[in-house]
Structure 1
């Protein structure tokens, strides 16, 4: 039987790491259609800082003994949604149909949107992000998926839902690195973006939430931030486990099929 999803003591862990983030509305400094700069700016050594207290990222995402696995996933999913939404909001003024006609990630990756019926459509980045945030907000507010009331249980498909949400949030983060990292630097938010990426990446590596083809676009940043595990063990900074590591409650491989692929 599952208890309320949002456990204050758990949710405060991710939130604490992001405390004192100076979120504010950016002023428009670029003209419509002006290039957004070098998409690999985020790899420059001087810009690889991240707001991180003395805590191992693996320790942050490891499931505490006696805690329900679904509740743990839910708490991290909620935290990631909140912070990705806030970070994108600071640069959204620069993300328009004119400046970002496609939803792109690093290395020329382009993301198409798939609706709940599997229909594929090409949309501008701000429309794509709006779809992501609307879908995620609707999902986490659905009591049958993210239960908050006593005696309500998580559905059998919960992990599959989390996989889709995390994948879509990763797309938004990837777009921010590809098209708006310079804006984040100008606003002094790049370290917080790095931390959000580190949180998402470590969570994924611990519970195998994303396919390798999704994460390849930012593999170089994983290495630069020392999130990639070293051969035969954990990576620097606590890093994360092997991407193929099984979820704590799995005893055999499980294939999950999302509602739709985006």
Structure 2
């Protein structure tokens, strides 16, 4: 499973350009350590725990970027099936609909087709994680007070992509052989955000039944 996971998530088909860490930095080392643990096949509940000799905010920052990269790739595998016609709303079944609001171009929550919503979301996340005033690169620069609220908002919004993909494009995941890989990524995400209380439990409700089957 570990090798197939690595192979699947190294494909070039991404929705947005992935974020990379500069070699030799603390974040790069944490990124390598997290990936090595993930691909080793050990219990994902153990993988998410912070190494005792590392800063918690660094650990969270690295994982925010990792989840952005992986969810970006997951959506990239189904985006050609996610059109204005097939997915006129960013939804997760009839009970859940997500509207976009960034306070700049969209000052009020606005209903959008799923692909447009996800495009804006990925662009917004990319801007946050590349903003060194929020995600400092050097270990000599402390994390700002805005870091944790921003990280939580990013992870909450990225979860909505999981919701849409699982509920509206699950058949596609199965047909391309991606189901097991996406499940592994989702479990890693779920264990991480619940380990550090980074996403409100109410936000996780749309996938509650599936989560109970996969993660309990």
Given candidates 132, 137, 148, the residue that maps to 2:137 is 148
Q: Distance between the aligned counterparts of 1:106 and 1:6, measured in 2? A: 41
- What is the CA distance between 1:181 and its match in structure 2? 1.0
Q: Which residue number in structure 2 is paired with residue 171 of structure 1?
A: 160
Q: Which residue number in structure 1 is paired with residue 8 of structure 2?
A: none
Given candidates 169, 175, 181, the residue that maps to 1:180 is 169
Given candidates 47, 51, 55, the residue that maps to 1:68 is 55
1:11 aligns with 2:31: yes
Q: Deviations over 1:91-116 (max 9, x none)?
A: 11001111100001145311111122
- What is the CA distance between 1:191 and its match in structure 2? 0.8
For these two proteins, the number of residue pairs brought into alignment is: 191
Q: Distance between the aligned counterparts of 1:170 and 1:201, measured in 2? A: 9
Q: Which residue number in structure 1 is paired with residue 123 of structure 2?
A: 134
1:112 aligns with 2:99: yes
Contact 1:106 1:177 in 2 (8 A): no
Q: Which protein shows a greater Rg?
A: 1
Query: Structure 1 runs of 4+ off > 4 angstroms?
Result: 16-19
Q: Distance between the aligned counterparts of 2:179 and 2:112, measured in 1? A: 26
- What is the CA distance between 1:79 and its match in structure 2? 0.6
SS, match of residue 7 in structure 1: helix
- What is the CA distance between 1:196 and its match in structure 2? 1.4
1:93 aligns with 2:80: yes
**Greater relative contact order: 1 or 2 (C-alpha under 8 angstroms, separation 6 or more)?**
1
CA shift in 2, pair 1:222/1:192, >3 Å: same
Given candidates 157, 182, 185, the residue that maps to 1:193 is 182
Contact 1:91 1:184 in 2 (8 A): yes
Q: Distance between the aligned counterparts of 2:173 and 2:144, measured in 1? A: 37
**TM-score with structure 2 setting the length:** 0.82
Q: Distance between the aligned counterparts of 1:188 and 1:18, measured in 2? A: 20
Gaps of 5+ in 2: 1-23
Given candidates 146, 155, 160, the residue that maps to 2:149 is 160
Q: Which residue number in structure 2 is paired with residue 31 of structure 1?
A: none
- What is the CA distance between 1:120 and its match in structure 2? 1.0
